[in-house]
Amino acid sequence: MEKFIDSLSKGLHYVAQLILVAMMLMITADVLGRWIFNFPIKGTYDFTQSGLSMMIFLGLAYTHNVKEHISIDFLVEKFPEKVQNIMNSFINIFIAGIIGLLAFQLWGNSQRLFHSNTVTGDLNLPIYIFAIMATIGTTVFALTAVMNAIVYAQKVVSKNES
Protein backbone atom coordinates (compact mmCIF):
# COMPACT_ATOMS: atom_id res chain seq x y z
CA MET A 1 0.00 0.00 0.00
CA GLU A 2 2.87 2.33 0.83
CA LYS A 3 4.37 1.94 -2.66
CA PHE A 4 0.98 2.60 -4.25
CA ILE A 5 0.48 5.84 -2.31
CA ASP A 6 4.09 6.84 -3.05
CA SER A 7 3.55 6.30 -6.76
CA LEU A 8 0.28 8.26 -6.65
CA SER A 9 1.93 11.21 -4.93
CA LYS A 10 4.88 11.11 -7.35
CA GLY A 11 2.53 10.95 -10.33
CA LEU A 12 0.57 13.95 -9.10
CA HIS A 13 3.85 15.74 -8.45
CA TYR A 14 4.92 15.15 -12.06
CA VAL A 15 1.58 16.51 -13.28
CA ALA A 16 2.12 19.59 -11.08
CA GLN A 17 5.57 20.03 -12.61
CA LEU A 18 4.13 19.85 -16.12
CA ILE A 19 1.54 22.45 -15.20
CA LEU A 20 4.29 24.69 -13.83
CA VAL A 21 6.29 24.40 -17.07
CA ALA A 22 3.17 25.10 -19.14
CA MET A 23 2.38 28.16 -17.02
CA MET A 24 5.94 29.40 -17.35
CA LEU A 25 5.90 29.03 -21.13
CA MET A 26 2.47 30.59 -21.51
CA ILE A 27 3.27 33.60 -19.32
CA THR A 28 6.57 34.13 -21.15
CA ALA A 29 4.85 33.93 -24.53
CA ASP A 30 2.10 36.26 -23.33
CA VAL A 31 4.57 38.87 -22.08
CA LEU A 32 6.65 38.67 -25.25
CA GLY A 33 3.55 38.78 -27.44
CA ARG A 34 2.21 41.76 -25.55
CA TRP A 35 5.55 43.58 -25.59
CA ILE A 36 6.85 42.82 -29.10
CA PHE A 37 3.69 42.34 -31.18
CA ASN A 38 1.16 44.14 -28.98
CA PHE A 39 -0.85 40.90 -29.12
CA PRO A 40 -1.39 39.13 -25.76
CA ILE A 41 -2.48 35.50 -25.57
CA LYS A 42 -6.16 35.19 -24.71
CA GLY A 43 -6.83 33.15 -21.58
CA THR A 44 -3.41 33.49 -19.95
CA TYR A 45 -4.99 34.80 -16.77
CA ASP A 46 -7.52 31.93 -16.62
CA PHE A 47 -4.85 29.33 -17.33
CA THR A 48 -2.46 30.77 -14.75
CA GLN A 49 -5.16 31.06 -12.10
CA SER A 50 -6.37 27.50 -12.60
CA GLY A 51 -2.88 26.11 -13.11
CA LEU A 52 -1.57 27.62 -9.90
CA SER A 53 -4.33 26.05 -7.85
CA MET A 54 -3.70 22.68 -9.51
CA MET A 55 0.03 22.96 -8.95
CA ILE A 56 -0.54 23.54 -5.24
CA PHE A 57 -3.15 20.83 -4.64
CA LEU A 58 -1.40 18.19 -6.75
CA GLY A 59 1.95 18.80 -5.08
CA LEU A 60 0.78 18.61 -1.46
CA ALA A 61 0.95 14.82 -1.06
CA TYR A 62 4.47 14.55 -2.45
CA THR A 63 5.67 17.45 -0.33
CA HIS A 64 4.28 15.77 2.79
CA ASN A 65 5.66 12.40 1.78
CA VAL A 66 9.24 13.64 1.41
CA LYS A 67 8.82 15.90 4.46
CA GLU A 68 9.78 19.07 2.60
CA HIS A 69 6.97 21.11 4.11
CA ILE A 70 7.34 23.67 6.85
CA SER A 71 7.46 22.08 10.27
CA ILE A 72 8.19 23.52 13.66
CA ASP A 73 9.83 20.73 15.56
CA PHE A 74 12.18 22.48 17.96
CA LEU A 75 10.04 21.26 20.86
CA VAL A 76 9.44 17.74 19.52
CA GLU A 77 13.19 17.19 19.00
CA LYS A 78 13.76 17.47 22.76
CA PHE A 79 11.68 14.36 23.49
CA PRO A 80 12.93 10.76 23.25
CA GLU A 81 12.55 9.05 19.87
CA LYS A 82 9.60 6.94 21.04
CA VAL A 83 7.66 10.02 22.16
CA GLN A 84 8.56 11.77 18.89
CA ASN A 85 7.17 8.85 16.90
CA ILE A 86 3.97 8.81 18.98
CA MET A 87 3.52 12.56 18.51
CA ASN A 88 4.25 12.33 14.78
CA SER A 89 1.73 9.53 14.44
CA PHE A 90 -1.00 11.58 16.13
CA ILE A 91 -0.07 14.69 14.15
CA ASN A 92 -0.42 12.74 10.90
CA ILE A 93 -3.77 11.32 12.02
CA PHE A 94 -4.92 14.89 12.73
CA ILE A 95 -3.63 16.07 9.34
CA ALA A 96 -5.39 13.18 7.60
CA GLY A 97 -8.67 14.05 9.34
CA ILE A 98 -8.53 17.74 8.46
CA ILE A 99 -7.43 17.11 4.87
CA GLY A 100 -10.05 14.37 4.53
CA LEU A 101 -12.73 16.89 5.52
CA LEU A 102 -11.27 19.34 3.01
CA ALA A 103 -11.38 16.68 0.28
CA PHE A 104 -15.00 15.89 1.17
CA GLN A 105 -15.95 19.58 0.93
CA LEU A 106 -14.05 19.98 -2.33
CA TRP A 107 -15.93 17.02 -3.78
CA GLY A 108 -19.27 18.56 -2.79
CA ASN A 109 -18.18 21.89 -4.25
CA SER A 110 -17.13 20.21 -7.51
CA GLN A 111 -20.59 18.65 -7.78
CA ARG A 112 -22.25 22.04 -7.25
CA LEU A 113 -19.96 23.60 -9.87
CA PHE A 114 -20.78 20.78 -12.28
CA HIS A 115 -24.53 21.25 -11.90
CA SER A 116 -24.31 25.05 -12.19
CA ASN A 117 -22.10 24.88 -15.31
CA THR A 118 -19.68 27.46 -13.89
CA VAL A 119 -16.85 28.28 -16.31
CA THR A 120 -13.75 30.48 -16.36
CA GLY A 121 -13.92 33.99 -17.78
CA ASP A 122 -11.94 33.94 -21.04
CA LEU A 123 -11.49 30.29 -21.96
CA ASN A 124 -14.88 29.03 -20.74
CA LEU A 125 -13.24 26.03 -19.08
CA PRO A 126 -15.53 24.21 -16.66
CA ILE A 127 -14.34 24.94 -13.13
CA TYR A 128 -15.60 21.64 -11.71
CA ILE A 129 -12.68 19.87 -13.44
CA PHE A 130 -10.22 21.86 -11.35
CA ALA A 131 -12.23 21.21 -8.20
CA ILE A 132 -12.14 17.47 -8.93
CA MET A 133 -8.38 17.62 -9.47
CA ALA A 134 -8.05 19.46 -6.15
CA THR A 135 -10.15 16.71 -4.55
CA ILE A 136 -7.83 14.07 -5.96
CA GLY A 137 -4.77 15.93 -4.70
CA THR A 138 -6.15 16.37 -1.19
CA THR A 139 -7.36 12.77 -1.03
CA VAL A 140 -3.89 11.48 -1.89
CA PHE A 141 -2.48 13.94 0.68
CA ALA A 142 -4.82 12.48 3.35
CA LEU A 143 -3.80 8.94 2.37
CA THR A 144 -0.14 9.95 2.61
CA ALA A 145 -0.74 11.30 6.11
CA VAL A 146 -2.48 8.06 7.13
CA MET A 147 0.43 6.07 5.71
CA ASN A 148 2.91 8.23 7.64
CA ALA A 149 0.89 7.79 10.83
CA ILE A 150 1.04 4.02 10.41
CA VAL A 151 4.79 4.13 9.73
CA TYR A 152 5.41 6.17 12.90
CA ALA A 153 3.14 3.86 14.93
CA GLN A 154 5.05 0.83 13.62
CA LYS A 155 8.30 2.45 14.75
CA VAL A 156 6.87 2.80 18.26
CA VAL A 157 5.73 -0.84 18.35
CA SER A 158 8.95 -2.21 16.86
CA LYS A 159 11.05 -0.26 19.37
CA ASN A 160 9.06 -1.81 22.23
CA GLU A 161 9.50 -5.38 20.97
CA SER A 162 13.27 -5.25 20.56
Mean pLDDT of the chain: 93
Q: What is the pLDDT of residue 71?
A: 76
Instruction: Name residues whose C-beta falls within 8 Å of residue 149's C-beta, 6 or more positions apart in sequence.
Output: 88, 89, 90, 92, 93, 96
8 Å CB contact between 10 and 137: no
pLDDT, residue 68, reads 82
For 23-63, how does the pLDDT look when each residue is reduced to its tens digit (9 = 90+)? 999 999 999 999 999 999 999 999 999 999 999 999 999 99
pTM of the prediction?
Answer: 0.89
Contacts of the segment 92-99: beta carbons below 8 A, 24+ positions apart: 92/145, 92/146, 92/148, 92/149, 92/152, 93/145, 93/146, 93/149, 95/64, 95/142, 95/145, 96/142, 96/143, 96/145, 96/146, 96/149, 99/60, 99/138, 99/141, 99/142, 99/145
Q: For residue 37, which phi and psi values (nearest 5 degrees)? A: -105, -5
Does residue 161 have a pLDDT over 80? no
Taking the C-alpha atoms of residue 146 and residue 68, their distance in angstroms, rounded to an integer, is 17
Q: What is the pLDDT of residues 117-145, one digit of tens each?
A: 999 988 999 999 999 999 999 999 999 99
